[in-house]
Amino acid sequence: MDEPSALSVDRRTASQLARLVLVAFLFTFLAARTVVFLIMSRRVPDLYAHVGGTHVHHLNYGIFLLVAAGAWLIFTRPAGRALSVAAVIYGIGLALTSDEFGMWLHLGGSYWQRASFDAVVVIAALLGLIAFAPQIRRFRPRHWTTAALLALALAIFALALADSIRHAQHRLDPVIKHIEQTNPN
């Protein structure tokens, strides 16, 4: 068996780092959504940070973490375990920022905007591809067939999901609006 080339080792490292980013991203997104819902439904005390009466949204923490991770990566060029830590910090920052994508897109509005969820899904899908997909130059006919079938399945799933989301939104909008209106923040 041939020794792996420098390119395949770099690709393997990139895939491993993408997996760390993906796991940190998904865990942080789920934790943030859960905590916000619990606070808004008053099942846990208000944990929001306030500065001079202004609520500091968690997208700001995400921006700070992205800036810190980027600066760390550029200026110190960590390797090994430190690079893995940077990947986790990046994933956490990316999730906190993307979770409120709808708020930066519309400069306000409801936390529960569909644009935020869509952004998280797209980012998670891209991270999943980086983490697990083979390089395109290594695709064989079976890979292309699988990709085409997956695209078809995703299209069918998207249509079914859109219908179920419309139904859920119709049923949940009044509940979420009530929670937002009764929340003092």
The verdict on 146 and 61 lying in the same domain is: no
Comparing C-alpha atoms, which of 89, 97, 88 is closest to residue 63? Answer: 97
Total of domains in the chain? 2
Comparing C-alpha atoms, which of 1, 40, 35, 2 is closest to residue 183? Answer: 40
The verdict on 106 and 48 lying in the same domain is: yes
The verdict on 124 and 143 lying in the same domain is: no
The verdict on 84 and 47 lying in the same domain is: yes
- Does 79 fall in a domain? yes
Tell me the two tokens of residue 55. 């609520």
The verdict on 110 and 164 lying in the same domain is: no
Confirm if 83 and 16 have CB atoms less than 8 A apart.
no
- Does 69 fall in a domain? yes
pLDDT single digits (tens) 120-162: 887 888 788 778 877 777 777 887 887 788 778 777 767 766 7
Distance between first and last Cα of the chain: 62
DSSP code at position 134: P
The verdict on 109 and 144 lying in the same domain is: no
Phi then psi for residue 71, to 5 deg, are: -65, -45
Residue 2 has pLDDT above 50, yes or no: no
Range of the domain at 150: 139-185
- Does 1 fall in a domain? no
pLDDT single digits (tens) 68-89: 999 999 999 888 899 999 999 9
Angle between helical axes of 114-132 and 81-98 (0-180°, round to 10)? 150
